[in-house]
Amino acid sequence: MSAVSLTDPHAWLRPYFAALAQDHTFALRAPSAQFSALCDAVRDDQPGKAALMREWSPAAQESALRWLATCVTAGSAQREIELWKVAKTGRELRCVARYLPAGIDLRLMQGHDFRRTEMHRDADVATAKAAEWKAALLEQGWRDL
């Protein structure tokens, strides 16, 4: 599996933006109206984050909207990214990064069950921890998929 970058601090906004962008009239709105709609969508799940977003400068708002539009167009609006998989004796473990407003929740999953989870605010730390988990599993006889 190719290397995945977790460095976008606003990746957690992608699914909100993608849902709004499905309405063809969304793109016709002024950037300020688009950003207001984005804040409204975020407010339902994260009222504190939405309030902080409303304080962003107009330039920051427009920049975020352009970036989110690029991400959604490229098909990268998922909340969760699979970083790697390993297998051993008929079992499979996946390491996924789930974008949350508080940071990146790094999860080691077996099927739909959590084996381990850690929250990281820094993408580089989350990436390093995922590599550490994988190296430990490979040392225990798991094989890379």
**Residue pLDDT, tens place only, 92-130:** 999 998 877 777 899 999 999 999 999 998 888 888 999
**What is the full per-residue pLDDT of the chain (145 aa) written as tens digits?**
334 456 677 778 888 998 999 998 998 999 999 999 999 999 988 899 999 999 999 999 999 999 888 877 766 556 678 899 999 999 999 999 887 777 789 999 999 999 999 999 888 888 899 999 999 999 999 999 9
Whole-number pLDDT of residue 130: 93
Asked if residue 72 lies in contact with residue 14, where contact means CB atoms within 8 angstroms, the answer is yes
User: Which contacts of 128-131 are long-range, i.e. CB under 8 A and separated by 24 or more positions?
Assistant: 130/83, 130/84, 130/95, 130/97, 130/106
Please state the domain extents for the chain. Answer: 11-73, 80-144
CA distance 45 to 53: 13
Report how far apart, in Å, the C-alpha atoms of 67 and of each of 61, 74, 128, 132 are.
10, 11, 25, 31
Contacts of 102 by beta carbon, 8 Å cutoff, 6+ apart:
119, 121
